[in-house]
Chains A and B, each alone.
Chain A
Amino acid sequence: MLQINESNESDAAVLSIAGRLDAVTAPDLEQKLNALVASGCGKVVVDFERLDMIVSAGLRVFLAFAKKCRKSGGRIALCRMQPVVFDVFKISGFTEILAIFPTREEALQSVNP
């Protein structure tokens, strides 16, 4: 199960994700992010506070988004990961290519420099 709540804050699209981001649920998030790509990428913050687990199928979604939006100047920041989720990003080397912050405020600031 994955819940995705979308809101707008300081000119950025904020996606709060809860539950599990796995091979079954990753397409749901991919669809949301693709909709943002279609509307020009813009500024995106993903709040992981209530996400309990992520697998490589979930990582793929963020990688694809970051690649698609790099050229159009879009910005994405991730925040509030639980330690077990952060470990997956770290082991995969994704902490080097994606902006990850402890708090939502810092994530919002980073997409609004």
Chain B
Amino acid sequence: MQVLRLPAELESLERFREFVAAEAAANRVDPSLLPKIELVIEEILTNQIMHAYKTRGGEAEVTCFPRPDGCFCLQLTDWGPPFDPLKQDAPDTSAPLEKRRIGGLGIHLVKNMADHLEYHRDGEKNVLTVCFKKTNK
């Protein structure tokens, strides 16, 4: 299990992305899945930066680990106020242009890209676990 904790700011995104890419490779995840995995970490980290730490700075932590069933999993933690991104309203993806809003699209994408998603509040922490099957099949 590998862990990286950095300040929750946009400048950290690239290091988190490189960390997860290296871990995915070490866990023999099909490289074609990497863009999906990168999108997921980026959407969730951006959410943490914009929402969990809107008024004050803080840290984000990413943990990578294989699950016994063969999935590759990420755990994303922040120390912001309780916030379950999975409970937010789904965006209307069929509204006409003028009624379209961007809010919620990031999580909508995450839900579509991940094979398993779970949120829990652990003391002072928001913990989101995301798992991917290692192949496209």
- Given A67-B98, A92-B108, verify A52-B35 contact (CB < 8 Å): yes
B residues in contact with A57, CB < 8 Å: 46, 106
A interface residues, tally (CB under 8 Å): 21
Least Cβ–Cβ distance between B102 and chain A, in angstroms = 4
* Stretch from A7-15, A30-38, A58-66 contacting the other chain: A58-66
Q: Are B46 and A23 in contact (CB under 8 A)?
A: yes
B residues in contact with A24, CB < 8 Å: 10, 13-14
Q: Are B36 and A84 in contact (CB under 8 A)?
A: yes
* A53 vs B38: C-alpha distance when bound (angstroms): 9
Q: Are A60 and B13 in contact (CB under 8 A)?
A: no
The chain A residue with its CB closest to the CB of B38 is: A53
The chain A residue with its CB closest to the CB of B92 is: A93
Hey, what's the 0/1 contact readout for B101-129 against A, CB within 8 Å counting as 1? 01001101100100000000000000000
Binding site for A on B (CB under 8 A): 10, 13-14, 35-36, 38-39, 42-43, 46, 91-98, 100, 102, 105-106, 108-109, 112
Binding site for B on A (CB under 8 A): 22-24, 52-53, 55-57, 59-60, 63, 66-67, 70, 84, 88, 91-93, 96-97
A-B contact pairs, 26 of them (CB 8 A): A22-B13, A22-B42, A23-B10, A24-B14, A53-B35, A53-B39, A55-B42, A55-B43, A55-B106, A55-B109, A56-B43, A56-B46, A56-B102, A56-B109, A60-B102, A63-B97, A66-B97, A67-B98, A70-B97, A70-B98, A84-B36, A88-B109, A91-B93, A92-B91, A92-B93, A96-B93
- Given A55-B39, A57-B106, A63-B97, 10 other A-B contacts at CB below 8 A? A23-B10, A55-B46, A56-B106, A57-B46, A63-B100, A67-B98, A70-B98, A92-B93, A92-B108, A93-B95
